Chain A
Amino acid sequence: MPDVAEGGVRSVTFAAACGWSLLRSTIVALLGLWGAVHLARLAPQQRSRMRFAAWALILSPCLSPGLIVGYGYRNYSLSLIHYPWWNEALYAAILIGQAAPVGALLLYLAPPPVVSPSAVHCWRMGAAFTGQSSISRWLGALSMELRGPKQAWLPAAAVIFLIAFQESEVAALMQVRGWPEWLYTRYAGLVDLTATRMRMLVLVAIQALVIVPVVAWLWRSLATGRRAARDSTRPVSNGWWVWPWVLFIVVTVIPCGVVLRGAWQGLASLGQQPSFWRELAHGLAFAMTSGAIACTMAGGLIRRIDSPQHATIPHGSSFVGAWRPVLMGALLLPGLCGSMTLALLVDDLFQQSWLQWAYDSPVRILTALTLSLFPRAVLVQTCIPYNRRTAELHAADLLRQGTTVQRHIARELEWRLRGRPRFWAYVLVCSWGYLDLMIATISAPPGMEPVVKRLYNFMHFGHIAGLSAMVCVTVATPLLLAMAFLAVRRWRTEWTSA
């Protein structure tokens, strides 16, 4: 990072801060991609019964809340105060740990490549005899690979990059450099929203460039509607299983252990804090509502693009049809701004005279949360293969016209194929909204603050005694609600079928 001011003060311009974030995110993306490629091959090698557990292990780091991870490593990060580069390396490692599994999932769920592995091999077999120069052959091979088996590498790397670039909670707790820290510093005093908007445009522009391959992947994934045939020719050594375990321990177990020690003893005190429960309810309500809206919008978007078997464009395609990928990208952009910036911009919007009436209402926080969650909702729902009209789903759907028994089976199949994955996607999206600190802080109406703000303050001011229990209850409550829903559903199904 270049020093700009006089003396020894390490001042950083916005450009330099962005450059630092870009550099870090690029390194994380490259290393994360390398890890993701191997992780993506690990779980499918397992027997089907073990596959779910394998994926759960691989994905657990990316599902660990940033708040907990950051706090868990906060003190260790402090101990590296005299070794800033080690601190950066630790932060980058945590980023890779959290983002690489997302890349692995994306690689696993990628649509079939335009050029098959066998086609690439055919090209290689003939390339040596075409008389081309070695550079031409290398470029040709690269082109084949990027259209072929490695066609999902670019979007996977882009998603890892975006996760790393947007991350701000752990960065704040670990005090690493980057554009979030620059913005926090810059915001001291009155926030200049005009300057803010200009800088946000820069950040959004950077991310928009990177999101192009992601949108293209999303578009193609939705349009083809088929899962890729696994590249079974190159299995991964089982030694690679060390890495998911390491990441699980480093990114999930250790921070949770730090935060949750003493949870049991603190549980009793929670009963005397009615405001905690109230804020918990607020957080759940906002998260569930905005998550529902975001998932519904995402589902609608996916259905608009859906094409059952052929990647067709309607005969005599309209202007809208041709610009669909661009429109989709535009809808996703607000969620790329980062929570803090998005909350400020939404705040600004609701201060306009025509929206002032809603400023004090929950509509503001719901708007900010929904926009923030929408890109993630689209990504998560894209990973559900049965969000598209597939033959398996339709084969189940046809049973609805049959006997009572067949109609019952149709409902169960629909739940198993589509309902349950969507439910868990919804839970995941809600959890992100539930633990979003910035939007909770800036956009919550008075008297309806979500619980995450209280948690953060406790973490910051080091009130460990009550914190562990609060974190435990806060994290567990949505999971318990989800389990309760599933249990009630199962009981109702069994009662109905009896």
Chain B
Amino acid sequence: MNRALWTLREVTLPGRGSPRLDRVTATIPAGRCAIAGPSGAGKTSLLNLLVEFECPASGELHGPVAEERRAHSDRLAIYWCPPDDGLWSHLSVREHLEAVSPELPTRAAAVADLLQMFGLARLADARPDSLSEGERSRLSVARALATGADVLVMDEPLSHVDRSLRRECWSALRQVCSERGTSLVFSSHDAETIQREAEHVICLERGRVAWSGAVADLYAQPATRELAELLGPVNWFEPDDAAAWLGATFSVPRGIRPEALRLIPAPDGALIVEDVVALGGLAEVELRDATGRSRMFVHSGGQTPLQRGARVMLSAVLSSLLGLFIAGCEGSAEGKTLPVAGTRTWSLPVEQGVLPAPRAMTFNRKGELLVLDDVGRIVVYGPDGKLDRKWWMPEYSAGRPEGIIELQDGRLMIADTHYHRVVFCSQTGELLGMFGEYGREPGQFIYPCHLTEDSQGNIYVAEYGGNDRVQKYSPDMKFILEFGEAGTGPGQLQRTGGIVWHDGAVYVCDIINNRIQKFDDDGQLLGVVTSGEGIDLEYPYDLAIARDGRMDIVEYKSGRVSQLSLDGELQGRYGKTGRSTGEFWTPWGIASAPDGRIVVADTGNRRLVELTP
């Protein structure tokens, strides 16, 4: 997570009848943060607090910005675009920008640029009362930029501006903020704007924080339908619905985005198309099942429009682990219990008042444990377990990496998931190179998540994001081959997780399909390792293979570690869902130390747990 600009603890703001903000605890990070929520959720109230237009009735609101005000009086710390634009009726458009410009010498040029960027040049001498709502919105945003403030707080900026001009204005805003390193906190109803412009989102519902985190995470894993719909259309399935419409078993309610839902024409399909409404790139389709029930679905449309009366099948590509509902999940250590002589638990170092959560780990040849956390750091513990060093990813505002390995040449290779690339660095964090870009072609990535290296130095990169596959590269990163595709069949993958090469085989966590698949060096499927009876993995997120050939798998849903032999025989299990000792909560990563210890990244509990067999 980026550094915190504001920290709110139990902040309440009274309202008529019910409070506008009700014991809100949240952290507003630096970067681009959106405040989302339905009307009346408390977005404006929250932003008013940040700019001290209102004061909380109770609770604590700490703004590091306030400290900066005292320290850096040569630059305005914070500025505001209020919902009613807050324009000064006696000043013209140009005068608004001139009035707030920080420095006189460069003012004229800066003002002219802003007028041009926001399409206000021809209105430079007009007064606010002669402007339209859209023009006033643009002026309000331009004025905020003209201040040169470190942080801009904008309440539904550019909401009155027409779509095409709004995109241009947002682009200008983004560009200027990026050039200056200005953080932006804004509220919006518009899903597209939030997705395009924000890195972090705080969702409010009836004055409370319903969710806080990366936009991509909210898009991929919304906990509720309401949260899902904040970022666009979603097909929401309760477990019964999933069985009836998808023929799938969902243990928890889940949302499937339009791009992940397929309507496949099938003469013997059980579903009949009742109505189709084209919505540009999407289509709303009403389907009727055999019992006469009908329901609306939103999908990506596709090239072949559906006709009324056509028979179809529904298929969902669950590569993004949507709508996982973990609470109350009763994962348990059934069957054999893995004997553990001792456990050690510790937390990652705190970063600016925030306790990070571990995500992925690996041991290097020195026996050091390298941990990726959810604020964007690489934290290294020595063989003695003491913190040795840490450094930051080159970029982390869009999202954090999910996989790390040490290459044979001693370099570290990190799957920089949300930047669609892999990053090479030294053991001390010196950046050595990057590879990859967004795309589906060879050499491109959607969400690369895990890595492994074979004995030849070839690198295997597992990715998800609708393009679930593994790509193989030579040591100099020349593309060799790819295997796997999104799906549930043999050799197909749904949400790839951990990947390990061992003794000529590549073992891949096929998370949604609840299995570990084994491929050869050429990508041919050798089998499903975990097909044995009684194994029943529940979202195997990561795996590690120890020197003695035992396979340790950490299960996200059931909160346990399962140990198998390489041919799939269950050796034992440890842990269950929970917050206490011996329990895990949505663990993401696992690593095996050379001496046989197992370290689990207990992500949900924000701790590392070392198991000594």
To the question of whether A and B form a pair in one complex, the answer is yes
Task: Give A contacts to B, CB under 8 Å.
Answer: 48, 226, 308-316, 389-392, 394-396, 398-399, 401-403, 405-406, 409, 413, 416-417
State whether the Cβ of B90 lies closer than 8 Å to any Cβ in chain A. Answer: yes
B76–A402 CB distance below 8 A: yes
Residues in A neighbouring B53, C-beta threshold 8 A:
308, 389, 391, 394
A225–chain B nearest beta-carbon distance, Å: 10
Pick the residue among B18, B78, B104 that contacts A401 (CB under 8 A): B78
Q: Is the CB of B82 within 8 A of A394?
A: yes
A308 to B49, CA, bound (A): 12
Are A391's CB and B14's CB within 8 A?
A: no
CB of B597 closer than 8 Å to a CB of A: no
- The contact of B100 among A48, A315, A409, by CB within 8 Å, is A409
Q: Which residues of B contact A409 (CB under 8 A)?
A: 99-100
CB pair B102–A406 under 8 Å, yes or no, is yes
Contact between A392 and B48, CB atoms less than 8 A apart: no
* B78 and A417 contacting across the interface, CB-CB below 8 Å: no
Question: Is B418's CB within 8 Å of the partner chain A?
Answer: no
CB-defined contacts of A402 to chain B, threshold 8 Å: 73, 75-77, 102, 147-149
CB-based nearest A residue for B87: A392
**Complexed CA–CA distance, A399 and B53 (Å):** 13
**Can you list 10 pairs linking A and B with CB atoms under 8 Å apart?**
A48-B89, A312-B16, A315-B19, A315-B57, A391-B83, A394-B53, A401-B69, A401-B76, A409-B99, A416-B90
Residues of A within 8 A of B101 (CB): 405-406
Query: Looking at B14, B18, B104, which has the most chain A CB atoms within 10 Å of its CB?
Result: B14
Cβ of B88 and Cβ of A413 under 8 Å apart?
A: yes
A310's partner among B16, B51, B75 (CB-CB below 8 A) is B16
B129 at interface by CB-CB < 8 Å: yes
With most chain A CB atoms within 10 A of its CB, the pick from B12, B16, B90, B101 is B16
Q: What's the least CB distance linking B131 to chain A, in Å?
A: 12
CB nearest to B18 among chain A residues: A315
Q: Assuming A315-B12, A405-B101, A406-B76, what are 13 further A-B pairs, CB within 8 angstroms?
A: A309-B44, A310-B16, A314-B57, A315-B14, A390-B86, A394-B53, A395-B88, A399-B76, A401-B69, A406-B102, A406-B147, A409-B99, A417-B88
> For residue B129, which residue of chain A has the nearest CB?
A48
B85 / chain A contacts, CB cutoff of 8 Å: 391
Whether the Cβ atoms of A398 and B79 lie closer than 8 Å is yes
Residues of chain B within 8 A of A406, CB atoms compared: 76, 100-102, 147
CB of A403 within 8 A of CB of B74, answer: yes
Return the chain B residue nearest A392 by Cβ. B86
Q: In the complex the two chains form, what is the Cα distance from A314 to B101 in whole Å?
A: 38
By size class, the interface of chain B is: 35 or more
Q: Name the residue on A nearest B90 (C-beta).
A: A416
B15 contacts A by Cβ under 8 Å: yes
Minimum distance in angstroms from A387 CB to a CB of chain B? 16
List residues of chain B with CB within 8 A of the CB of A315: 12, 14-15, 18-19, 57
Whether B86 contacts A394 by the Cβ 8 Å rule is yes
The residue in chain A whose Cβ has the minimal distance to the Cβ of B76 is A402
CA distance A230 to B76 in the complex (A): 36
Q: Mark out the residues of chain B between 101 and 150 whose CB falls within 8 Å of any chain A CB in the assembled complex.
A: 101-104, 127, 129, 143, 147-149
User: For the complex, what is the distance from the CA of A269 to the CA of B77, rounded to whole Å?
Assistant: 61
CB neighbours of B76 from chain A (8 A)? 398-399, 401-403, 406
B140 to A, closest residue via Cβ: A395
The smallest C-beta distance from A97 to any residue of chain B, in angstroms, reads 30
Does chain A have a CB within 8 A of B190? Answer: no
Of the listed residues A308, A390, A402, A413, the one surrounded by the most CB atoms of chain B closer than 10 A to its CB is: A402
Assembly CA distance A93 to B100 (angstroms): 50
**Contact yes or no, B147 A48, CB < 8 A:** no
- A494 CB, nearest partner CB in chain B, Å: 15
The distance from the CB of A413 to the nearest CB of chain B, in whole angstroms, is 6
**In the assembled complex, which residues on chain B have CB atoms less than 8 Å from the CB atom of A401?**
69, 73, 76-78
B388 located at the interface, meaning its Cβ lies under 8 Å from any Cβ of chain A in the complex: no
Residues on B with C-beta less than 8 A from A48 are: 89, 127, 129
Q: In the complex, what residues of B have CB within 8 A of residue A403's CB?
A: 73-76, 102-103
User: What B residues does A310 contact at CB under 8 A?
Assistant: 15-16, 20
In the complex, which residues of chain A have a beta carbon less than 8 angstroms from the beta carbon of B20? 310, 312
Closest to B155 in A: A391
Question: In the assembly, what is the distance between CA of A311 and CA of B51, in Å?
Answer: 20
B437 interface hit (Cβ, 8 Å): no
Report yes or no: B82 in contact with A399, Cβ–Cβ below 8 A.
Answer: no
Is B536 an interface residue, CB under 8 A from the partner? no
CA of A394 to CA of B153 in the docked complex: distance in angstroms?
13
Chain B positions 26-84 with a Cβ under 8 Å from a chain A Cβ: 44, 48, 51, 53-54, 57, 69, 73-80, 82-84
A396, B77: Cβ atoms closer than 8 Å: no
Q: Which of A308, A316, A399, A417 contacts B48 (CB 8 A)?
A: A308
User: Which residue of B15, B74, B86, B90 is within 8 Å of A395 (Cβ)?
Assistant: B86
- Nearest residue (CB) in A for B12 is A315
Closest 9 CB pairs of A and B: A315-B14, A402-B76, A391-B82, A391-B86, A395-B86, A403-B102, A401-B69, A392-B86, A394-B53
With a cutoff of 8 Å between Cβ atoms, the chain A residues found around residue B84 in the complex are 226, 391
CB pair B88 A392 closer than 8 Å? yes
Collect the chain B residues with CB atoms within 8 Å of residue A398's CB.
51, 76, 78-80
- Contact, CB under 8 Å: B14 / A314: yes
Q: Which residues of B contact A399 (CB under 8 A)?
A: 76, 79, 100, 147
Bound complex: CA of A389 vs CA of B48, how far in Å? Answer: 12
Chain A residue nearest to B153 (CB atoms) is A398
Task: Report the Cα distance A430→B143, complex, angstroms.
Answer: 38
Are A311 and B16 interface neighbours, CB within 8 A?
yes
- A residues less than 8 Å from B73 (CB atoms): 401-403
The answer for the CA separation of A405 and B99 in the assembled complex, in Å, is: 9
Tell me the bound Cα distance from A156 to B275 in angstroms.
Answer: 58
Are A313 and B16 CB-contacts (below 8 A) given A401-B78, A405-B102? yes
State in angstroms the CA–CA spacing of A392 and B51 once bound together.
13
A105 to B97: give the CA distance in the assembly, Å. Answer: 32
- How far, in whole Å, are A347 and B412 apart by their CA atoms in the complex? 91
- A401 nearest CB neighbor, chain B only: B69
- Chain A contacts for B18, CB-based, 8 A: 315
> Do A396 and B88 touch across chains, with their CB atoms under 8 A apart?
yes
In the complex formed, the residue of B with least CB distance to A44 is B129
Q: How far is the CB of B377 from chain A (nearest CB, A)?
A: 31
**Min CB gap B99→A, angstroms:** 5
- Identify which of B12, B15, B48 contacts A312 (C-beta below 8 A): B15
The complex places the Cα of A315 from the Cα of B86 at a distance, in Å, of 27
The distance in angstroms between the C-alpha atoms of A315 and B200, with both chains bound, is 31
Most buried by B among A48, A394, A396, A398: A398
In the complex the two chains form, what is the Cα distance from A403 to B83 in whole Å? 25
A413 / chain B contacts, CB cutoff of 8 Å? 88, 99
CB distance from A18 to the nearest CB of B (A): 41
Nearest Cβ distance between residue A217 and chain B, in whole angstroms?
20
Instruction: For B149, list chain A residues within 8 Å (CB).
Output: 402
Residues of B within 8 A of A395 (CB): 79-80, 82, 86, 88, 143
Chain B residues whose C-beta falls within 8 Å of the C-beta of A389 in the assembled complex: 53
B14 touches A394 (CB 8 A): no
User: Which residues on B sit within 8 Å (CB–CB) of A417?
Assistant: 88
